[in-house]
Amino acid sequence: MKNAKLVLDKDYVISEVDKRIYGSFIEHLGRAVYTGIYEPGHPLADEEGFRSDVLGLVRQLNVPIVRYPGGNFVSGFNWEDSVGPKANRPRRLDLAWKTTETNEVGLHEFASWAKKAGSEVMYAVNLGTRGPDEARNVVEYANHRGGTYWSDLRRKNGAEDPLNIHLWCLGNEMDGPWQMCSKTAMEYGRIANEAAKLMKWVDDSIEVVACGSSSTTMPTFGDWELTMLNECYKNVDYVSLHRYYGNPHNDTEDFLASTMDLDDFIKTVVSICDAVKGKKHSKHQVNLSLDEWNVWYHSHDQDEELYKREPWGQALPLLEDIYNFEDALLVGLMLITILRNADRVKVACLAQLVNVIAPIMTRKGGGAWAQTIFYPMMDASRYGRGKSLLPVIESPRSDTKHFTDVPMMDAAATMDEAGNVTIFAVNRDLKEDCLLACDLRSFGTFREVTHTVLHHDDMKAINTEANPNEVRPVTVAAPAAGEPVLLPAASWNVIRLIK
């Protein structure tokens, strides 16, 4: 048995939690849209063709914002193809994912789905094959009240009121050679600046996200942020970060330590933003949008095979990672890292939401179920609201292949308006339980303590349609006030202290 200690004080606050850190992502990719959220003819489809079973699961996740329509897809996408009568919408080759896009679901349909899901739309514009002109037009189409060409077209297409999209992405992963019309940092910084300017001239209430480098592993990382922000700093509100982890060599200790890298990544991008702020003598602060994060590696080989079998297919089962229990632990650790950086990470999108590297899976014509990673996301989104508290952690530490001094017990904590405290804690140790002593010196007494645990003896356990409850949280006996909490080896824990 290991011992760890957590000190919290109600006056030691990192920041208000921006609810948008519990965002997600739907791309026109694989079966995210078609046979994912949308399947007319399915027994549970609603009058618009949206699967009500999927909507039910999305509502359980409590997702406040959903990024759309890409991703790599957006860099070749003509937004105009996706509005107006469905019969007139063109079928197009999607060069990003080598598939065929029918445009049956477009801007209006997605806005309607998001409303049903209780989410806002975070809309990405194409800065790959297109540019500032199309970007400002789509803002006018979506957000201008009426009396102009684009806003009246929206009204003619059935939306009398503006769609009021507040948050916009200026392209996607523009430093990636895989991106349609990828750019140098200077080229991107200039086009992002001009696009942001025009979009904000159309609607000065919107916020925009500039593309950071597509990953820390890119040779462009760092210099890209510095160069492009130097061009567009004044006109952008957030820089994007994308990060996926995997465990291809089955080194679970090292895999679970990956959040050391995520924390470093976040802090490096914060420093670069602030360096540009300082250099420009600016009062404006650029924050972070971690708008793609997750585990992604299980489906790589299977996707290669699929492409060989069915080039230019429609709604192919691409990126269908089947997540196991250890993936859920890493997702929990990533959420802890995001919460501890809540002063600068204001938007984060679990990529993605349905079927494509997703917490929710569906079968065409069949059921919908929650993958293992669904549960930490659900817990954090449900209870991790209010203020993020500064956790002072004492924990045994160990080294892994790529990381040193990894705390075996990692945690974040939040306090809501009523003074209820929630502690999210992961015991990374795969063999030993951990006794966690919590010193909550300034909070006074709590009426009730609850404790739920996500644990499985098999790190590779999965949920399936036939067995959807193999990995799910259970409520355990909570300790008496002041007593330490038992965190089982390899577990995600939610401890709620209720006033």
Binding interface with ligand AHR (CB under 6 A): 27, 70-72, 172-173, 242, 292, 351-352
Residue 322 or 476: the one with the smaller Cβ distance to ligand AHR is 322
Q: Please provide the DSSP assignment of 255-313 as one string.
A: HHTTHHHHHHHHHHHHHHHHHHHHHTT-----EEEEEEEEE--TTHHHHHHHHHH-TT-
Residue 73 or 492: the one with the smaller Cβ distance to ligand AHR is 73
Nearest to 197 by CA among 164, 167, 166, 170: 170
Chain residue at closest Cβ approach to ligand AHR: 71
The distance of closest approach from Cβ of residue 59 to ligand AHR in the complex, given in angstroms and rounded to an integer, is 22
Q: Which residue has the tokens 């027994």?
A: 43
Note whether 246 and 258 are within 8 A (CB). no
Whole-angstrom Cα distance, residue 162 to residue 173? Answer: 28
The distance of closest approach from Cβ of residue 360 to ligand AHR in the complex, given in angstroms and rounded to an integer, is 15
292 catalytic, yes or no?
yes
List, in order, residues 6 or more apart from 457 with CB less than 8 Å away. Answer: none
The distance of closest approach from Cβ of residue 291 to ligand AHR in the complex, given in angstroms and rounded to an integer, is 9
The distance of closest approach from Cβ of residue 269 to ligand AHR in the complex, given in angstroms and rounded to an integer, is 17
State which amino acid sits at residue 196.
A
Residue 353 or 438: the one with the smaller Cβ distance to ligand AHR is 353
Query: Which tokens belong to 69?
Result: 């329509």
Q: Which residue has the tokens 């080989």?
A: 301
Note whether 73 and 82 are within 8 A (CB). no
Note whether 409 and 425 are within 8 A (CB). yes
Residue 71 or 391: the one with the smaller Cβ distance to ligand AHR is 71
Residue 128 or 473: the one with the smaller Cβ distance to ligand AHR is 128
Note whether 388 and 380 are within 8 A (CB). no
Q: Give the pairing type, strands 2-7 and 397-398.
A: unpaired
Helices (H), 361-476: 374-383
Note whether 295 and 323 are within 8 A (CB). yes
465 catalytic, yes or no?
no
Note whether 360 and 370 are within 8 A (CB). yes
State which amino acid sits at residue 317.
P
Nearest to 199 by CA among 117, 139, 250: 139
Query: Which tokens belong to 413?
Result: 């904590």
101, 173, 231, 326: the catalytic one is 173
Residue 53 or 173: the one with the smaller Cβ distance to ligand AHR is 173
194, 292, 320, 326: the catalytic one is 292
The distance of closest approach from Cβ of residue 384 to ligand AHR in the complex, given in angstroms and rounded to an integer, is 23
The distance of closest approach from Cβ of residue 373 to ligand AHR in the complex, given in angstroms and rounded to an integer, is 14
Active site residues: 173, 292
